[in-house]
């Protein structure tokens, strides 16, 4: 064996001894006793996220609205997406967006009717979905304009468009199921009720077809939704006196009762959203909870008030936007940390819903926009909501 060979063997032996001394049988490094073995960092609990909610007023397709949908489709059916395009940025930006579908739908090809017994194109549902709405309240005085068939067609169209719904039902099981959404980290329940059905009786054997406004039922339903896991309970109510800006005695009394109802010190209802009056009504904080007495009409044709005169307020509305934050401690409520409203106007000449603040920013010379925005703002703030932090936005 040459000297060079002996040196190579010695070096190889030293390397093998070092490897054996430094590794365990599993291949892990051998560390001196008492040495702390580093561990991979573990993820903490996921952050609890708040959410924004937007809600808007009555979608009421008069015959002129139906004609506009046909015109926007270019003679091939109906397309209502352009009608909502100007408010789409507001609606689609929210974590949860709710509308109020006041009328019921017919078959895809009609026939369709306007006032007084509405049968609307089901293609409206696709327009609402495109605008960013997640669902709608469907309890109104027009819910039974075409009986059980109208309810079925409407909710079928909602299902097809991917919209949820609350307030009317096709089956008893559906009526007993709470409409739920996930927004941020919250489970949100949506309940909806109407004061009347214009004298139309409930369909035979279907007393659950539409929810009627009864204080005890609303509270019972809200508590059941909370018990089933809802972090936030929203209540839509079709109520009030048409063409009256000021909430009537029924609205005031029910609003106080719903916001005063508590279980274990926690409010049973977290927000009340009103529709029906055809004019913008005030927002007000009652017992620490926001009540929107009426958001006005989002979509409507030419409207005549109780005296028979054409009333431009029938084209005025607001979108409410509320930011909810997680509870400060376990068992407490989700809190509204920001309350806002967006004045909007159904421009019948153009056949479009207008976001008024955005429209005025683009065209500050529009006197009709300015007068509409001023009237809506005055109505919304008329019960002192500004002092509780309600602000206009775009």
Separation between Cα atoms, residue 1 and residue 300, nearest integer Å: 105
Opening angle at CA 253, ends 238 and 336, nearest 5: 70
All domains of the chain in start order, with CATH: 51-392 (3.60.21.10)
pLDDT in tens, 59-68: 999 999 999 9
Distance between CA atoms of 238 and 276, rounded to whole angstroms? 5
Exposed / middle / buried, residue 134 (Cβ in 10 Å: 0-12, 13-18, 19+): buried
What would the pLDDT profile of 294-321 be if each residue is shown by its tens digit? 999 999 999 999 999 999 999 999 999 9
3-state secondary structure of 291: strand
pLDDT tens for residues 168-217? 999 999 999 999 999 999 999 999 999 999 999 999 999 999 999 999 99
Element (H, E) at 19: helix 3-22
Lowest mean pLDDT among 39-53, 120-134, 249-263: 39-53
């Amino acid at each position: 064996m040459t000297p060079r060979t002996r040196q190579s063997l010695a070096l190889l032996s030293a390397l093998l001894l070092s490897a054996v001394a430094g590794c365990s049988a599993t291949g892990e490094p051998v560390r001196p006793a008492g040495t702390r073995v580093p561990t991979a960092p573990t993820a903490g609990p996921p952050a609890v996220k708040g959410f924004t909610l937007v809600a808007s007023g009555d979608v009421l397709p008069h015959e002129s609205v139906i004609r506009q949908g046909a015109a926007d489709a270019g003679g091939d059916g109906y397309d209502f997406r352009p009608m909502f395009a100007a408010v789409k940025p507001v609606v689609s930006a929210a974590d949860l967006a709710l509308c109020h579908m006041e009328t019921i739908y017919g078959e895809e090809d009609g026939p369709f009717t306007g006032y007084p017994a509405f049968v609307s194109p089901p293609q409206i549902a696709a327009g609402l979905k495109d605008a960013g709405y997640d669902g709608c309240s469907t309890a109104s005085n027009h819910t039974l304009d075409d009986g059980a068939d109208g309810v079925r067609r409407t909710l079928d169209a909602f299902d097809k468009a991917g919209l949820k719904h609350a307030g009317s039902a096709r089956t008893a099981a559906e009526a007993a199921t709470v409409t739920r959404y996930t927004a941020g980290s919250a489970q949100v329940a949506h309940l909806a009720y109407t004061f009347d059905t214009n004298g139309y009786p409930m369909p035979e054997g279907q007393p659950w077809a539409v929810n009627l406004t009864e204080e005890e039922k609303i509270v019972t339903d809200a508590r059941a939704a909370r018990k089933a896991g809802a972090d936030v309970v929203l209540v839509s109510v079709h109520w009030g006196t048409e063409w009256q800006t000021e909430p009537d005695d029924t609205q005031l009394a029910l609003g106080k009762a719903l916001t005063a109802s508590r279980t274990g010190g926690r409010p049973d209802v977290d927000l009340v959203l009103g529709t029906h009056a055809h004019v913008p009504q005030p927002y007000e904080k009652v017992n620490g909870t926001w009540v929107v007495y009426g958001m006005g009409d989002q979509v409507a044709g030419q409207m005549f008030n109780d005296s028979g005169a054409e009333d431009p307020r029938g084209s005025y509305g607001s979108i409410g936007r509320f930011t909810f934050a997680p509870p400060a401690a376990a068992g407490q409520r989700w809190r509204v940390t920001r309350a806002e409203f967006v004045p909007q106007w159904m421009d019948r000449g153009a056949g479009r819903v207008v976001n008024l603040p955005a429209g005025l920013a683009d065209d500050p010379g529009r006197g009709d926009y300015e007068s509409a925005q001023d009237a809506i703002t005055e109505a919304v703030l008329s019960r002192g909501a500004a002092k509780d932090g309600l602000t206009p936005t775009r």
